[in-house]
Amino acid sequence: MWTAFTSDQVRQAEHALMALVPDGELMQRAAAGLAAVCARLLPGVYGSRVVLLVGGGDNGGDTLYAGARLAARGARVEAVLAGSRTHEGGLEALKRAGGRVIEAGEVGAPDLILDGLLGIGGKGGLREPYATLARIAAESGALVVAVDVPSGVDSSTGEVAGEAVKAQVTVTFGARKAGLLVDPGAERAGIVELVDIGLTAHLPEPEITALTAADVAGLLPVPGIESDKYRRGVVGVLAGSDRFAGAAVLAVGGAVRAGAGMVRFAGPEDAVHQVRARWPEAVTTLLKEDPVEEVGRVQAWVLGPGMGTDERARRIAAEVLGTDLPVIVDADALTIVSKNPKLLHRQAPTLITPHAGELGRLLGVDPKDIEARRIEHVRRAVEELQVTVLLKGSTTVVAEQGRPVRVNTTGTSWLATAGTGDVLSGISGTLLAAGLAPYDAGSVAAFLHGLAARKAAEGAPIAALDVAVSLPDVIRHLRTAANMDA
C-alpha cells in the first residue's frame, strides 16, 4: 500500500532524521537519487543538455547538487538562478563539475529541465520570475522533471491556485506527498518516482493511502469449494426509468462482470426488457407498486442509477434505506437524499458515490471548490453525513470515519463518458454483497473500474459497457500476478 503525507508531516520527519545524521547528508541523498532518475530518463548522459531552474532554499540545493553529478558524467548542465538567494554549496559544486549559470532567455530546447523552483512549502500560484520560467519550460519541448513537487502545486492538497509547472516526471524524496496523488496536482506531477532518504521510521501514521494491485488482489472475494450463488453474494439493483433504461443495463453489467453470485434487478418495464436482453443471467422483476422486498433476498442494494426522482423513486429510496441491508447510493438516489438527508441516518453500511456536483448539493458547496480540494471536502462529507463516501472524478477518493482517505491511482480520461458511473455502482454493489465493508468495496471497485477502462480504451474512445466487459480480464490479470508473486 502506498502512503502519502502532508508537507508538515514530512518536515517533522526530516527534522527528526537530520538530528541523527551529518549536516547536509539528506540533501546529498536526495541529489544522488534525483541524478540517478534523470540519468535513466536521458537517452545518454554524456553530451546531453540539462537546464536547472533553481529557486532558493533546500529545493534549489538538491537541484544544484544533482546537476553537479550529471555534469561530472559529461552532461552540459546550465542553471537559471531565479531565487533571491542561492544555495552556495550547491552552486559551487555545479561550477566545479563544469556547469555554468545562464539567463532565462538562454534556456532554448534542452533535453531535460529540472524544476527546482519551489519545494514542499510552496503555496499559491507562481509569482514572477517563477511563472515565466514555468511557461518557458512548458514551451521548450524538453522532458520536465519536478524536484520533490512541481512548483505551484500545493504538496499537501494538490491544489493549483494559478501558474504551475507541468512535469512529465516528479522525483519526490522520503515519502509521497498527498498533493502528488490528487488532482489537479497529480495531473501536473506526471509519473512519481520515490527516492528513499531514510524518513520512513520518522513518519506518522498516514492520513492518505492508495491501494496497489497486490492489495486489491488480496481483497478480492474468491469463491471456495463450497461456494454457491448465495454464498458468493446476491446484489439487488434498483435502477432505470422510462427515460434512462440504459443506466439499468450498465449497473447490472458492472455487477455481473465483477463476479456477483446473483444479480436481482427490479425496475420499470422498458428497463426490465433491456436488462433481460443484454444480461440473461440477471433475475428481473417488474416493479410497480409492490414493495421492494418482493424482489427477493439480497445481501446488498445498488440504488439510484437512472431511477428518476419522482414520487415512485422517492418511495423506493425511502424503503431501501429503511432496511438493515448495505446500500450503494448513487446518481438519482443522491438527488433524493440531498432533499431529505435524514434518509442517510441509518445503522447499516452505506456507501454514497457522488461526483463533485452531487456532493456539492449534499454539502451546499460549489462543485469547483470540491474539485480544487477533494480531500478536504470528502472528509467533511464523511463527518457531516456519517456514511462512507466515494467521490468520483479525475481523482477518485474514498473516505470513512477514522480511516485514512484512500486515493485511487487507476483510471483514464476516457472514463469521462456517460454511464461509466453506473458501471462503478454495479461493481461496488457486487463487492458489498460479497462481504466487503463499504470502505474496501468502494476502494477496490474504483481500482478495478479504472483498470478496466484503461484496458478497454488503450488510447481510444470507449463506451461505458466496454468497461464492464473488460472486468473479468482485469481481475484475472490481478489474481495471476498476485499468485506469481506469492
Q: Which pLDDT tens digit goes with each residue over 46-93?
A: 999 999 999 988 999 999 999 999 999 999 999 999 988 999 999 999
Amino acid at residue number 329:
V
The verdict on whether residue 65 carries a ligand-binding annotation is: no
Structural domain spans, the chain: 2-210, 213-485
CA distance 443 to 316: 27
Annotated ligand binding at 412? The verdict is no
| Residue 350 pLDDT greater than 80, yes or no | yes
CA distance 179 to 161: 13
pLDDT value at residue 187: 94
For 448-464, give the DSSP string: HHHHHHHHHHTTS---H
Please report which confidence band the pLDDT of residue 458 belongs to, taking 50, 70 and 90 as the band edges: confident
To the question of whether residue 124 is assigned a binding role by annotation, the answer is yes
Residue range 183-219, pLDDT digits in tens: 999 999 999 999 999 999 999 999 999 999 999 999 9
Which residues, 6+ apart, have CB-to-CB distance to 238 below 8 Å? Answer: 266, 267, 287, 292, 301, 302, 303, 304, 307, 316, 320
Q: What is the mean pLDDT of residues 264-270?
A: 95
**Closest of 278, 254, 218, 437 to residue 331, by C-alpha:** 254
CATH 3.40.50.300 for domain 213-485: no
pLDDT grade, residue 485 (50/70/90)?
A: low
What average pLDDT does range 384-394 have in this prediction? 96
pLDDT band at 484 (very low <50, low <70, confident <90, very high): low
151 is in an annotated binding site: yes
As a whole number of angstroms, the longest Cα–Cα distance in the chain is: 83
- Is 61 labelled a binding residue? yes
Q: Is 306 annotated as a binding residue?
A: yes
pLDDT of 317 higher than 80: yes
Sequence-separated (6 or more) residues with CB below 8 Å from residue 25: 18
**Average pLDDT value for the chain:** 95
In this model, does residue 292 exceed pLDDT 60? yes
Is 290 annotated in a binding site? The answer is no
340 known member of a binding site: no
| Mean pLDDT of the 407-433 span | 94
The alpha carbon dihedral of 282, 283, 289, 294 has a sign of negative
Residue 421 among known ligand-binding residues: yes
Whether residue 355 is annotated as binding a ligand: the answer is: yes
Buried b vs exposed e over 443-478: b needs ≥16 C-beta within 10 Å? Answer: bbbbbbbbbbbbbbbeeeebebbbbbbbbeebbeeb
394 is in an annotated binding site: yes
Residues 390 and 403: beta-carbon distance below 8 Å = no
Residue of higher predicted confidence among 408 and 482:
408
Amino acid type, 16? A
User: Counting every residue, how long is the chain?
Assistant: 486
**Per the annotation, does 247 bind a ligand?**
yes
* pLDDT band (50, 70, 90) for residue 460: confident
Residue 310 predicted with pLDDT over 80: yes
Q: What is the pLDDT of residue 224?
A: 76
Q: Is 356 annotated as a binding residue?
A: no
Is 148 known to sit in a ligand binding site? yes
Strand (E) or helix (H) holding 314: helix 311-321
Is residue 166 marked as binding? no
Check if the beta carbon of residue 26 is closer than 8 Å to that of residue 14: yes
Integer Cα distance of 431 and 447 in angstroms: 12
Per-residue confidence (pLDDT) for residue 202, from 0 to 100:
97
486 pLDDT higher than 60: no
Q: Would you say 196 is a known binding-site residue?
A: no
CATH ID of 2-210, from 2.60.40.2700, 3.30.420.40, 3.40.50.10260, 3.90.1150.10: 3.40.50.10260
Taking residues 229-247, what's their average pLDDT? 92
Percent of residues, the chain, with pLDDT higher than 70? 99
| 393 has binding-site annotation | yes
Is residue 230 part of an annotated ligand binding site?
Answer: no
Query: Known binder of ligand: residue 58?
Result: yes
Query: Binding site annotation covers 190?
Result: no
Measure the CA–CA gap between 223 and 227, rounded to whole angstroms.
6
Is 80 exceeded by the pLDDT of residue 482? no
Cα 113 from chain centre: 26
Query: Is residue 259 annotated as involved in ligand binding?
Result: no
